[in-house]
Amino acid sequence: MCAPCLAQPPRHDGIAAGTLYNDTARKLVLAFKHGRRIALAPMLARLIAARLPPMEGEWLVAPVPLHRWRLWHRGFNQAVLLAAEIARLTDAELMVDGLERRKRTPALGGLGRKARMRTLQGAIAVDSRRRARLRGAQVLLVDDVLTSGATSDACVTALKRAGATRVVVACFARVLDDGGMGRASMSEPHRS
């Protein structure tokens, strides 16, 4: 574990990232998410799946949710596309509606970790119809990019409050900077 994680233990149970967020990863993410190149989903998911820890027992694969207005504007949730592919690759159960983004939030790009956390306060919750299924579950939380960890923290908090016993964050690209994320081997889940 890195020093920031020792000082403030994370809520999640590890991170599995396909790659570091660099110029190439950025181009792929932008083409996928904003360029509507959804055909990239299988390749990006395979890169994520290659970094997953052993998934013993039953797992649920849950994407990070988009607010309905952002979903309407974009036309798709990139995390759902990745989660569907990962569920197929791992034979895990896909749960696209386990989490919901109840509060419309501005784009988080350019905000620091604390500002992102404030912005996301109360924004993400477990869908009440899925609460029973999440109780005692192991969950793979899927997103395209892990930046500060504020969005995944909000999701992990909601999932664990609903009774999930283990939540591993899976993403295509992970930003590593001096913002407290620490540097870790991409082949092992990292706690930060």
pLDDT 10s digits, 55-109: 999 999 999 998 888 888 899 999 999 999 999 999 999 999 999 998 777 676 6
CB 104 within 8 A of CB 119: no
Q: Is 121 helix (H, G, I), strand (E, B) or coil?
A: coil
CA 109 – CA 14 distance, rounded (Å): 23
Strands of the chain, DSSP E: 15-20, 59-63, 93-94, 99-101, 124-126, 138-146, 166-174
Q: Percent of the chain beyond pLDDT 70?
A: 84
CA 134 – CA 140 distance, rounded (Å): 12
CA 141 – CA 16 distance, rounded (Å): 10
Q: Rounded to whole angstroms, what are the CA distances from 162 to 24, 99, 129, 138, 140?
A: 37, 10, 11, 12, 15
CA 81 – CA 92 distance, rounded (Å): 15
List of domains in the chain: 9-106+113-174 (3.40.50.2020)
Query: Confidence class of residue 155 from pLDDT cuts 50, 70 and 90?
Result: very high
pLDDT (0 to 100) of residue 4: 63
Q: Per the structure block, which two tokens stand in for 86?
A: 């990962």
